[in-house]
Amino acid sequence: TYPENGRFEWSAPSNIALVKYWGKIEPQLPANPSISFTLDSCKTVTELEFSKRANDGNFSFDLLFEAQPKEDFKPKIIKFFERIERYLPFLKDYHFKIDTRNTFPHSSGIASSASGMAALSVNLMSLEKALNPQMTDDHFWKKASFLARLGSGSACRSVKGEVVVWGKHAEIEGSSDLFGVEFPFGIHPNFKNYQDAILLVEKGQKEVSSTVGHDLMIGHPFAERRFEQAHENLSKVKNSLVSGDLESFISIVESEALTLHAMMMTSNPYFILMKPNTLEIINKIWKFRRETAMPVCFTLDAGANVHVLYPENVAVEVLQFIKDELVAFCKNGEYICDRIGAGAQNF
């Protein structure tokens, strides 16, 4: 059966990398493996309406953001459709209405490309499954992640699973450069419901887009060593996640964040993406950890915002600390409390 028209609706969350993806091999393969926590409440909800049409050789879609037409995202979607058409050959046989909203504040500086591309990809896979009902679940999820990667690399880690590895790694069975896979080992209870408070230091557009950022690793003097280090750090994070060793977890996660920024500071051209308040927050976290011995750490994306990671059993104390000492360094005092989540959800 060839569905004439219908609709799907899926949400997909953002994710936060513990070992960072920074550097790609064209078109869209990672120069090194990465691992992330999938988030829970920071997500994109996308509704995909489809109706059969005569294929005129073009893509046909309307794009809405919070029910309002959003023309400026169109080129990104066209580029995405061009990349994935060979894997979803029915794309030009349908007219689509793609309506998207984010649960996090607009231009909060939280990247919505991972959650957005993941949500759209899973919706498109639902249509593909309607066309091929015999498809296995495993195929559905792998291909959804594969498509999401072609939209935005890290989006492939936002599709399924609480902890996701993207990129071939010797110790992670089934890992691939082509899609994200769920962490295949049992995770220690210390990481159950792990918390991520996202402190919004800087809002608005990113200073350096990730496309430009990845390109800075081409010919970068430290690139090769960095890519090796990511393999080593992924082994170490893997061991911490299994053993529950929070001390080693913290040391690798913070080092990864600073290394990501160090790569940007040492590229040509160079960038400093941290703000003074980013450093104030990092220093406060270090002081708090020294004084209380609580296993709180930070990580960063390619921007000034700080993700504060901590286990659920210290949540009360850490939230109090955030309110008392860190909120002062956030833009308009804004921060978002999130935690580990499971991936895309169907409505």
**Closest C-alpha among 207, 211, 290, 277 to residue 250:** 290
Beta strand spans in 82-216 (E): 94-102, 163-166, 180-182, 195-199
Min CB(170)–ligand PMV separation in Å: 19
Question: By C-beta, is 17 or 124 nearer to ligand PMV?
Answer: 17
Alpha helices in 244-295 (DSSP H): 246-265, 276-292
Question: By C-beta, is 124 or 302 nearer to ligand PMV?
Answer: 302
Question: By C-beta, is 156 or 318 nearer to ligand PMV?
Answer: 156
| Token pair in block for residue 97 | 């209405």
Q: Which helix (H) or strand (E) holds 298?
A: strand 297-300
State the Cα angle at 272 between 268 and 278, rounded to 5°: 160
Min CB(176)–ligand PMV separation in Å: 16
Min CB(15)–ligand PMV separation in Å: 7
Min CB(141)–ligand PMV separation in Å: 19
Question: By C-beta, is 29 or 319 nearer to ligand PMV?
Answer: 29
The number of C-alpha atoms within 13 Å of 152 and in the hemisphere containing its C-beta is: 23
- Spell out the residues 6+ positions from residue 93 whose beta carbon is closer than 8 angstroms to its own: 52, 53, 55
Q: Which residues bind ligand PMV (CB under 6 A)?
A: 17, 20-22, 34, 113-114, 152-154, 210, 260, 301-302
CA distances from 182 to 4, 41, 158 (A): 34, 19, 10
Question: By C-beta, is 8 or 233 nearer to ligand PMV?
Answer: 233
Min CB(203)–ligand PMV separation in Å: 17
Min CB(166)–ligand PMV separation in Å: 8
Min CB(268)–ligand PMV separation in Å: 18
Question: By C-beta, is 95 or 206 nearer to ligand PMV?
Answer: 206
Radius of gyration of the chain, Cα coordinates, nearest whole angstrom? 20
DSSP lists the bridge partners of residue 189 as none
**Closest C-alpha among 94, 2, 10 to residue 54:** 94
Q: Does residue 55 come out as left (phi exceeding 0), alpha (psi in the -120 to 50 range) or beta?
A: beta
Question: By C-beta, is 127 or 197 nearer to ligand PMV?
Answer: 197
